[in-house]
């Protein structure tokens, strides 16, 4: 396996801020690399350096001669007035080929990426389809290495599933910066984290994201233990250094030098371990005990002549955490605005508990001024904040969200996307809430912050409405999931997998709730249908059988996620086989249910 790119002792600074220093890492053919790191670690800058778009301060980057390297940035940019086909044709402009060859290549990519209108104008595309086009523009150039900066941004769940399937079938290598943990789990063969917590500035593991987590945890625990052991050694050597001068003269010079070396090593080790801290996210609740916080009945809404949802009923109580799923423009944000009173429903009603406190995280971040300082954004004109009845100084409050004191006077507009997201979360935490409404809160957050955010949401005693494309967060946090198909229908689902199965056209996607409704409507017709007596009995027990099978599948899923079996490959393989068998049984039951229902009517 040949090497594509080697970075040798590279360093990059912005003013007094060091992104990375003396970093050496290489990437080879046939590698599918997930590239991680905390906000501000320099992931995007590193990709630009590898692509030759950003200079380095020192060191060298060696790229294989003639290797074609593509770069997919976070923000997609296209020429004004361009069409889908023209973007792809222009991408082949520097390649020597006949017109018919170019047209053939464009047609192949258009089909592969499911573009039905080659003459469609780019400005008319949704964010998800613009992302597809940007990716198609890179792939049509047949790269040897494709660098992708947050490729799942702006993609809905269907788009992410499509992207995963496409990337698993490509022949080129890629490096993908992503915070989507399921995406990393599904498509990577190596995971690299750029982080000053490691002695080399990065940590690399061959395997998927689960294997990376296991190895990373072991490494950091060993590094903490090393610090504790070294602390004891340095304490003894420090006592030696402080001994009287007569005693020191009898000691060897080498021991004195070794004592000082150990102190320097401990200082470096302590600094690395301290960088492993994560943002302290903990939302404040009013403590309200009311069983019914918000009740929506029969909500319907049409915008621009398009029915987004119809006859939606929802009860929010303390501890209820509802996830909203659906393609882009399916109505998720509109439903949030109706629930929070920003938009009126066309039909239906919403009943709120008295003096209900609703706190909203807006995905557009319109309420966060870009020209104010971080200090003002966190505390206004004050030098402290009031959090849960206690006064916290602005410096301590900033540090809780991983900001240094030197950043307090920086304009918010100079902060990274992830840092701005942490500012918004810090502001929300100062507002006691009965209901948290979070519209894409995960955008730009690093994985460590995502983990802390999830723990905070799970521990929040009020109700939550969550819109996110982060499947891992939805499955971990939400007690129920509503799926919007964009044409008025809203169904209830167990998890993201069930929703995605339905979107893929399988029968497993039928919800148990809708199944109950259908059973009630057809129950009186069973005797008049074409079913045998045994089939009638089978149909009446089908719901219970499906519920039991899905519970078994969920139990198998949890068993595969047990970290205790991570090192036991035989047991892990057995649990994956049990899970696959359980999922297959669910699919068979749904298929049989469909067959019986069709015979009824």
pLDDT at 542: 78
How far is it, in rounded angstroms, from Cα 334 to Cα 264? Answer: 57
Whether pLDDT at 566 is above 60: no
Which of 21-25, 231-235, 569-573 is predicted with the least confidence, judged by mean pLDDT? 569-573
pLDDT at 506: 45
Share of the chain above pLDDT 70, in %: 83
How far is it, in rounded angstroms, from Cα 395 to Cα 400? Answer: 9
Question: Mean pLDDT over residues 306-320, rounded?
Answer: 92
Q: Which two tokens stand for residue 514?
A: 């809708």
Radius of gyration of the chain (CA): 28
Question: Mean pLDDT over residues 342-349, rounded?
Answer: 94
3-class SS at 191? strand
pLDDT at 322: 95
Q: Is the pTM above the cut of 0.75?
A: no
Round the average pLDDT of the chain to a whole number and report it: 82
Cα-based angle 403, 404, 407 (whole degrees, multiple of 5): 85
pLDDT at 284: 64
Residues 36-87 have pLDDT tens digits of 998 878 899 999 999 999 999 999 999 998 899 999 998 888 999 999 999 9
> Do 312 and 299 form a contact (C-beta atoms < 8 A)?
yes
pLDDT at 278: 59
pLDDT at 217: 86
Whether pLDDT at 591 is above 90: no
More confidently predicted of 264 and 27 = 27
Whether pLDDT at 368 is above 90: no
pLDDT at 260: 64
How far is it, in rounded angstroms, from Cα 500 to Cα 509? Answer: 7
> Do 176 and 33 form a contact (C-beta atoms < 8 A)?
yes
Whether pLDDT at 522 is above 60: no
Residues 82-107 have pLDDT tens digits of 999 999 999 998 888 888 888 899 99
Residue 334 has a CB neighbour count (10 Å cut-off) of: 19
Whether pLDDT at 295 is above 50: yes
Q: How far is CA 584 from CA 435, 506, 507, 581, in A?
A: 38, 12, 12, 5
pLDDT at 400: 83
Which of 115-119, 272-276, 301-305 is predicted with the least confidence, judged by mean pLDDT? 272-276
Closest CA to 464 of 443, 482, 437: 437
pLDDT at 279: 62
**Phi and psi torsions of 147, nearest 5°:** -100, 125
Which of 157-171, 426-440, 513-527 is predicted with the least confidence, judged by mean pLDDT? 513-527
Q: Which of the listed ranges 21-25, 245-249, 353-357 does the model predict with the highest average pLDDT?
A: 21-25
Question: Mean pLDDT over residues 518-536, rounded?
Answer: 48
3-class SS at 70? strand
How far is it, in rounded angstroms, from Cα 569 to Cα 549? Answer: 26
Q: Which two tokens stand for residue 13?
A: 């600074």
């Amino acid at each position: 396996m040949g090497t594509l790119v080697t970075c040798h002792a590279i360093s990059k600074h912005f003013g007094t801020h060091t992104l990375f220093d003396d970093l050496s890492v290489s990437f080879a053919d046939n590698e599918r690399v997930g590239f991680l790191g905390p906000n501000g670690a320099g992931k995007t800058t590193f990709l630009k350096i590898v692509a030759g778009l950003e200079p380095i301060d020192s060191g060298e980057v060696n790229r294989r001669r003639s290797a074609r390297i593509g770069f997919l940035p976070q923000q997609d940019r296209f020429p004004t007035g361009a069409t889908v086909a023209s973007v792809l044709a222009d991408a082949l402009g520097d390649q020597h080929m006949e017109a018919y060859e170019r047209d053939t290549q464009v047609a192949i990519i258009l089909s592969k990426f499911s573009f039905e209108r080659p003459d469609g104008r780019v400005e008319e595309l949704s964010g998800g389809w613009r992302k597809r086009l940007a990716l198609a523009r890179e792939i049509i150039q047949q790269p040897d290495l494709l660098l992708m900066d947050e490729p799942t941004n702006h993609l809905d769940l269907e788009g992410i599933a499509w992207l995963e399937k496409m990337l698993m079938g490509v022949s080129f290598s890629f490096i993908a910066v992503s915070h989507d943990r399921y995406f990393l789990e599904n498509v990577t063969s190596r995971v690299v984290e750029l982080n000053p917590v490691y002695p080399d500035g990065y940590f690399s593991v061959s395997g998927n994201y689960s294997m990376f987590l296991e190895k990373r945890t072991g490494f950091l625990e060993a590094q903490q233990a090393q610090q504790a052991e070294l602390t004891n050694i340095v304490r003894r050597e420090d006592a030696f250094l402080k001994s009287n001068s007569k005693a020191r003269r009898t000691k060897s010079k080498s021991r004195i030098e070794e004592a000082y070396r150990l102190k320097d090593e401990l200082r470096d080790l302590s600094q690395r371990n301290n960088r492993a801290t994560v943002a302290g996210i903990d939302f404040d609740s009013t403590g309200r005990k009311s069983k019914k916080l918000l009740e929506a009945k029969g909500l319907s809404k049409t915008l621009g002549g398009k029915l987004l949802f119809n006859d939606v009923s929802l009860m929010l109580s303390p501890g209820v955490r509802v996830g909203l799923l659906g393609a882009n423009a399916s109505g998720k944000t509109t439903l949030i605005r109706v629930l929070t009173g920003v938009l009126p429903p066309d039909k239906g009603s919403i009943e709120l508990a008295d003096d209900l406190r609703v706190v909203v995280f807006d995905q557009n971040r319109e309420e966060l001024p870009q020209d104010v300082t971080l200090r003002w954004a966190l505390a206004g004109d004050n030098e402290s904040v009031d959090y849960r009845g206690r006064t916290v100084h602005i410096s301590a409050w900033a540090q809780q969200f991983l900001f240094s004191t030197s950043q307090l006077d920086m304009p918010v507009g100079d902060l990274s996307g992830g840092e701005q997201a942490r500012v918004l979360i810090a502001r929300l935490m100062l507002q006691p809430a009965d209901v948290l409404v979070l519209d894409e809160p995960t955008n730009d957050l690093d994985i460590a912050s995502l983990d802390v955010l999830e723990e905070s949401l799970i521990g929040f005693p009020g109700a939550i409405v969550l819109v996110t494309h982060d499947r891992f967060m939805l499955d971990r946090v939400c007690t129920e999931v509503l799926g919007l198909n964009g044409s008025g229908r809203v169904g209830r689902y167990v998890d993201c997998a069930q929703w995605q199965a339905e979107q893929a056209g399988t029968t497993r996607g039928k919800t148990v709730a809708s199944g109950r409704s259908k059973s009630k409507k057809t129950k009186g017709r069973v005797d008049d249908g074409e079913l045998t007596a045994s089939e009638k009995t089978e149909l009446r027990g089908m719901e219970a059988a499906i519920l039991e099978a899905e519970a078994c599948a969920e139990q198998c899923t949890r068993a595969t996620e047990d970290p205790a079996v991570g090192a036991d490959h035989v047991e892990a393989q057995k649990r994956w086989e049990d899970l696959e068998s359980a999922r297959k049984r669910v699919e068979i039951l749904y298929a049989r249910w469909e067959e019986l229902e069709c015979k009824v009517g």
